[in-house]
Structure 1
């Protein structure tokens, strides 16, 4: 159980990871608020103990109620198409819009846990630029001034039953573009995201999450503690390759970063 129960907002709550985050957070004693677009779907997929709050990450004006009073926010956004469900509109702009809603919210700043992906620093169009938009969402979170943990999981649920020993990596050097980069169970991703909300050692860390042969660890604290912190003020994670220069980014992306940075220092 959580030593200090939080009010946790889960964004992407009806997704395959989000549902597990909701269950894990409730099991840890937190009060869970689940952002949903479809209340009937949310009621069908989520535990009765979760508070359902209607909102759409592509529409920032619908997010104010959801973020109000949240002690922590877990973002497990995942796009699955084009248009309003494209990587740009969901994986990136969804994070931007949550941060925008927070800017007009009263109360203490929440702690953030953001799920992106292993290989986030790959410069490749093979995923329709998905990874580049995920990396841009990471940059927004780092620029926000909020305390955060960014988790880059490997391939979901492709690990063997005896591969539950969690490994935290930094530098994002595994770039095969397939399961050879590392795999991890969805349930373990959820466990790490929720644990990061209350672990002092997880503050302002970014890491890749995979599993290797062995038993699941009982305590995640030592794994968080062994990580290097991201450099203060940096847009990128510690050890990341500097292969996405800011001055080459789209103007709208630079404008978003400047807006988020300005709010953080206001």
Structure 2
């Protein structure tokens, strides 16, 4: 496996810390985006495109584990806008992407999404990654660290049909999520695919390639098998403009 120069967006968060450790142990070079700067970090602000030039310089890949909480503006500017801004800072240079969103992200009618439109903006982040033409894997994790001690067998689902908004949708450890994000980043079988990630009772698999290979590839702007419940025509005009601007880079 070729060692990569990886930009980690969200590297100071609860998932990002695991990703940094796993990636470093695998021999990759990790550069953590931070507004404050510091050891193993590069200064930059996801909401300020002009600040990202140093962060994306000479990178081979980016792993997005960032996220915000609260009002809709945060999800728009950080969860979605941060992905868009990094992609635009990279431009046409080849890049491999691993993007973390959430299980149930396509479900628009739940009380959570109605209160802050978080799912809508995360799903728009997925779409702009697919539109970019870069190699990518999109991982929709289930609920973090609700696993029992014997619950580590990974299952990769598609269609985003689990929408209770509770751990009944599935569970996954933060450490296993980090391992899957990194493995997907360097797997040809995972390229161009979107999946929900859950753990069931049983031991963790040592080889993820068969799991990645069994997945259906994405087509168009949505994940394979996703319900068509957010037409592009209903997206905000600014989002449609972003997609039009990014799309010519495909190929």
TM-score by length of 2: 0.95
Alignment of 1:83-232 (within 5 A): 86-103=74-91, 108-124=93-109, 126-127=111-112, 128-231=116-219
From 225, 248, 251, the counterpart of 1:239: 225
Show structure 2 runs of 5+ residues with no match: none
Which structure 1 residue ranges, 5 or more long, are not aligned? 44-50
Distance 2:17 2:52 in 1: 19
Equivalences for residues 28-107 of structure 1 within 5 A: 28-39=26-37, 43=39, 51-82=40-71, 86-103=74-91
Q: How far apart are 1:53 and its partner, in Å?
A: 0.5
Offset, 1:125: 5.6
CA contact (8 A) 2:72 2:118 kept: no
Q: What SS does structure 1 have at the residue aligned with 2:189?
A: helix
Match of 2:21 in 1: 23
TM-score of the aligned structures, taking structure 1 as reference length:
0.90
Alpha-carbon displacement from aligned partner over 1:94-115 (angstroms, at most 9, x marks no partner): 1010111011x7xx41100000
Of the three residues 254, 257, 265, the one matched with 2:240 is 254
| Cα distance in 2 between the residues matched to 1:225 and 1:70 | 26
Give SS of 1:135's match: helix
1:4 aligns with 2:2: yes
Aligned to 2:250: 264
Q: Supply the distance in 2 between the matched residues of 1:213 and 1:263 (Cα, whole angstroms).
A: 42
Aligned-residue RMSD, C-alpha: 1.4
TM-superposition CA deviations, 1:69-100 (whole Å, max 9, x none): 1111001111123476x111111001010111
**How far is the alpha carbon of 1:198 from its aligned partner?**
1.1
The corresponding residue for 1:46 is none
How far apart are residue 126 of structure 1 and its match? 2.2
Give the 4+ runs in structure 1 shifted more than 6 A. Answer: none
The offset of 1:214, in angstroms, is 0.5
* Alpha-carbon distance in structure 1 between the residues aligned to 2:46 and 2:225: 30
Aligned residues: 248
